[in-house]
Amino acid sequence: MYKLIAFNEVAENFSAHFALGISPYFDRCKSHETGMLHFITHKFVRYLCQNCGYERTESLENFVCRRYSPQAWKFLKKLM
């Protein structure tokens, strides 16, 4: 998990790995309460299912590594 002050750097990395903006996938209220970036994993997984062909029968790790890269998976793990 990242501190909220690192938001700009995290947003850039997220965009570089997934070609998406991170804004729809983080909870602003919880992030401001805790000071940590609170990523909404289930919302991102739903996006992957609806738009990228992810099937929940496959592990998320395998899908992200295959579709994007192993570095994208490492980054995503830190967000979750």
The rounded distance, in Å, linking the Cα atoms of 36 and 6 is 9
This prediction's pTM: 0.88
The two structure tokens encoding residue 4: 């909220």
Output the pLDDT for position 66.
Answer: 96
- Residue ranges of the chain with pLDDT lower than 70? none
For the record, the structure tokens of 64 come out as: 């992200």
